[in-house]
Chains A and B, each alone.
Chain A
Amino acid sequence: SQTIHQWPATLVQPVGSPLSLECTVEGTSNPNLYWYRQAAGRGLQLLFYSVGIGQISSEVPQNLSASRPQDRQFILSSKKLLLSDSGFYLCASQVGQNGPQHFGDGTRLSIL
């Protein structure tokens, strides 16, 4: 079964600083990969998804970007963080079109 690794687990960054969150997947190949943000007491908001290396689709306009340099690596980035970027960021992996998404344990990002 697949395992999704995210790091760091927690991160405190000042406003205006850059960001790089990494997600790697083990135990599968050619997964669909997703980045979500979860606000407290709210559902998951899809930020980006990728169906293959170098293929990124954005769901909402925002201050963030994503990249997929390798099959099982998905990176969430920002050049300049905003206060509103604070949140819990989750990476998910899904094999094929007919199975569930599996999640990593997330990164708690706090912007000061």
Chain B
Amino acid sequence: GESVGLHLPTLSVQEGDNSIINCAYSNSASDYFIWYKQESGKGPQFIIDIRSNMDKRQGQRVTVLLNKTVKHLSLQIAATQPGDSAVYFCAENMGGGGYQKVTFGTGTKLQVIP
């Protein structure tokens, strides 16, 4: 069945280093992908998104890469800061009329070491 998953449940990085968080998806019909950041006790916060007609998109300190051939999505955070510590999860939208049918991954915990 369709699923969205993450390769690493926990990722520890040194402050100032770059972080790469990976995500695999299995539904080739998915056309829209989103990365969220969730801090403890809070709701998910939108970081960046990408559509299936793109393979790379950049934001402020973040880059999302989409490899449709292997159904892989990654989030790169440049110069990781302590405030980046959180759970990150990807989501895929499988389309549909009138609303989004989104499947969320379980998340990767990013720990930034000062």
A contact residues, total (Cβ < 8 Å): 24
Rounded to whole Å, the gap between the CB of B62 and the closest CB of chain A is 14
In B89-114, the 8 Å CB interface with A consists of: 89, 97-107
**Given B44, B99, B104, B107, which contacts A32 in the complex, CB threshold below 8 Å?**
B99
A1: nearest chain-B partner, CB-CB: B46
1/0 per residue, CB under 8 A from A, across B18-49: the answer is 00000000000000101010000111111001
Indicate if A24 sits at the interface (CB-CB under 8 A): no
CB of B85 to closest CB in A, whole Å: 17
From A12-20, A40-48, A61-69, A70-78, the one touching the partner chain is A40-48
> Known contacts A90-B43, A90-B44; is A43 also within 8 Å of B106 by CB?
yes
* Distance of B71 from chain A, by nearest CB (Å): 17
Contact A98 B46 (CB under 8 A): no
Cα distance, A105 to B100, chains bound together (Å): 20
A2-14 interface bits toward B, Cβ cutoff 8 Å, 1 = contact, 0 = none: 0010100000000
Apart from A6-B43, A43-B104, A43-B106: 9 A-B pairs, beta carbons within 8 A: A4-B43, A32-B98, A41-B106, A46-B101, A90-B44, A94-B99, A94-B100, A97-B100, A100-B46
